[in-house]
Amino acid sequence: MLAVMRFRQLVALVLALSSPVLFAQTATSPADPVPQNTLKVFDPAFIDTKVDPCENFYKYSCNGWFAKNPLPKDQVSYGRFTELAELNRAVLRSILENAAAPSPSRSPNEQKIGDEYATCMDTAAINAKGTAPIKPELDLIDSLNDKKQLPALLAHLHREGVRAFFSEGSDQDFSDATSVIGFFGASGLGLPERDYYTRTDPKSAEQRQQYVQHVTNMFKLLGEPPEQAAKDAESVLALETRLAKATLTRVEQRDPQNLNHPMTYIAFAKTVPDFDFATYLKDVNAPTLVKVMDTQPKFFTEFQAIIAVTDLATIRTYLRWHLVSSFAGTSSPEAFDQEDFNFYHHILRGQEEQQARWKRCTQRVDHELGEALGQVYVAKTFPPENKQRTLEMTQRIEAAMGKDIDSLDWMSPETKKYAKEKLHTVANKVGYPDNWRDYSKLTIVRGDALGNQFRANSFESDRDTAKIGKPVDRAEWGMTPPTVNAYYNPQMNDVNFPAGYLQPPFYSQKEDDAANYGDMGSTIGHELTHGFDDEGRQFDAQGNLREWWTKEDAARFTERTDCMVKQFDAFVPVDDVHVNGKLTLGENIADLGGLWLAYLAWQEKAKAEGLNFDQKTDNYTPEQRFFIAYAQQWCTQTRPEDLRTRVQTDPHAPDEYRTNGILIDL
């Protein structure tokens, strides 16, 4: 009740003066990308003054956008992020179509991105080849006649991108962020996450049966008789259910302490005596391992039990399924592609139509050769001044966080000292990498869609595994430059803002500071706050997992965040499915902290520049524009099927609650 009262007081203050009715009633189709110059950080046409902002600030700020933007049939959700992503994708399409034209003057990177795009777009050639390209891999699986052959086979499949049984890769040691070691984790599920196998409600039971039917259909497309395909699908579900039950939940995986099980490689290998890790590591091109991280010991205990008792026929069936499933998209004939879409996108997420081929091929090239493509994208779309303005805003928000830490009455001086040390150590990465990735070892062959995907996955697997034992590359990026997103890495202690995100409708040189800080400023503050959320706060300034909070301060932090868990647990976005307050806690903390820090930084800048807080633009005061701009970044239409999936799997709360839920807490 107190929270609701604070919410009403806030919006009453911010929206004290009524504005004309600007809610648009006429719907138009967003099927074509919105021209960039029509996207605004703050758009008064989106505001619906018939809605009481004290009751639902999100709908007050976004109803006009909803009316103008019905959900396209090829999208499971459509929002401001999608608007910009579609614009960026159109730019990438132009780049790729130019690069796809054969020419002796093409650079090596232009040849790779152009030929990969042209190959992906040639559906007639892919259909004509049928299952012939994948047959050698199926034959390799069928030749498994001794469990001693499994390590070499699994290494081969893992390098090609088949996520069967477990995962292997590199990451920074939790206790020494300067050291890169081998990481082993749970994997091998065909449903979105482990609880899809364990929930007992009717909808979950129905989805499991739909999954079995989907696996059956895929086996039938491979040529299996219907009865055998159905039997094989049931065996896949049974094996995956065993793996799922041994896997940590999404909530458990959010706590790095649950993943922190360092040991020698020799000790780890002994936990799975029936699997020869020495052969596996040799065949995934891993360097000599000394120390490794077993992120899920219970899972590998179950993996050992499965290897010991499962017959070879079932293992071969499971591997065939994960092979065909991993490549059932743009590398496969239309029948496989459509069946994959029907289950994962239509049944689970409600998408009515498959996206246009060029969209998916553009996305594929961005995934496989993101920095080769991104280098051209940056040159066309991201002037140096955009980077400088973003850095300036980031530095102002960091300064606001420093002052906010000083003002906390519940945090001790000892913890404040370490908190400010961590804050002042954060690296700000804006736009694109300083050093572009070298793709010279990746071969792209025009006309070989599946082979290109195999080689791209193997290239990335080798690049990742080769990091083990080498110095940490702190300049590396985890997102491609055209990406409409941002992230914080607790082990790197850096914030990362790709060029694709730093434009309207999230940031514009034509907008006032109020709108820009309410929108992009809150995102910058969001990523900074991740360094101090329930997960990020466990890492120190150097990225090491260690307790640097006093025991009393840690308890006070938990007491405060428990209130937010309970608050978000009460939200019911779809049917009877509640938001998971523990799963979304880190993002909710970051949303709240980000908005608050952006507000503090903007207020200080505005006062220093003598801003008149009563002067209106578009009939709204600066403070009104700040909060409405924050809300309008989250305007999103979402299908109920997708909403259900996201609530069960996504650490972000649905967009409506990222607005209303956070303003309640401010």
How far, CA to CA in Å, does 442 sit from each of 373, 432, 446?
Answer: 14, 21, 13
| Average pLDDT, integer, range 248-257 | 97
Q: Would you give the DSSP letter of residue 576?
A: T
Q: What is the DSSP letter of 264?
A: E
d(CA 162, CA 138): 12
Contact in structure between 519 and 482 (CB atoms under 8 Å): no
- Do 19 and 632 contact (CB within 8 A), yes or no? no
The rounded distance, in Å, linking the Cα atoms of 372 and 384 is 19
pLDDT above 70 as % of the chain:
94
> Would you place residue 14 in the very low, low, confident or very high pLDDT band (cuts 50, 70, 90)?
very low
pLDDT digits (tens, 9 = 90+) for 509-556: 999 999 999 999 999 999 999 999 999 999 999 999 999 999 999 999
Q: For residue range 260-317, what is the model confidence (pLDDT) as tens digits?
A: 999 999 999 999 999 999 999 999 999 999 999 999 999 999 999 999 999 999 999 9
Percent of the chain whose predicted confidence (pLDDT) is above 90: 93
Kindly report the pTM of this predicted structure. 0.93
What pLDDT does residue 36 have? 52
**Lowest-pLDDT choice from 236-240, 340-344, 381-385, 483-487:** 381-385
Closest to 575 in 3D by CA, of 637, 645, 636: 645
Query: From the CB of residue 392, how many other CB atoms can be counted at a distance below 10 Å?
Result: 11
Phi and psi at residue 291, to the nearest 5°: -110, 140
The confidence score (pLDDT) of residue 300 equals 98
Is there a contact between 567 and 3 (Cβ–Cβ < 8 Å)?
Answer: yes
Report strand pairing: 176-186 vs 291-294.
parallel
Q: What is the pLDDT of residues 380-430, one digit of tens each?
A: 999 888 899 999 999 999 999 999 999 999 999 999 999 999 999 999 999
The model's pLDDT over 171-215, given as tens digits with 9 standing for 90+, comes to: 999 999 999 999 999 999 999 999 999 999 999 999 999 999 999
Predicted local confidence at residue 127, as pLDDT: 98
Q: With contact defined as beta carbons under 8 Å apart, do 577 and 647 qualify?
A: yes
CB 586 within 8 A of CB 531: no
Mean pLDDT in residue range 645-654: 96
Does 1 score more than 60 pLDDT?
no
Q: What pLDDT, on a 0 to 100 scale, did the predictor assign at position 386?
A: 87
Q: Reply yes or no on whether the pLDDT at 640 is more than 90.
A: yes
**SS3 state at 628:** helix
Residue 659 scores a pLDDT above 90: yes
Q: Which of 450, 437, 447 is CA-nearest to residue 479?
A: 437
Q: Per-residue DSSP letters for 391-417?
A: HHHHHHHHHHHHHHHHH-SSS-HHHHH
Cβ–Cβ < 8 Å for 650, 638: no
Residue 487 region by backbone torsions, left for phi larger than 0, else alpha for psi between -120 and 50, else beta? beta
Give which of 281, 323, 317, 342 is closest to 453, Cα–Cα. 323
Calculate mean pLDDT across residues 497-503: 96
How confident is residue 7, by pLDDT bands cut at 50, 70 and 90? very low
Q: Which residue has the tokens 């694109």?
A: 432
Ranking 15-24, 61-70, 140-149, 338-347 by mean pLDDT, the lowest is: 15-24
* Mean pLDDT computed over every residue of the chain: 94
Q: How far is 232 from 111, CA to CA, in rounded Å?
A: 42
What pLDDT was estimated at residue 18? 33
Secondary structure (DSSP) of 363-394: HHHHHHSHHHHHHHHHHHH--HHHHHHHHHHH
pLDDT, tens only, 18-57 = 333 332 333 333 334 434 547 999 999 999 999 999 999 9
Nearest alpha carbon to residue 359 among 19, 92, 639, 154: 92
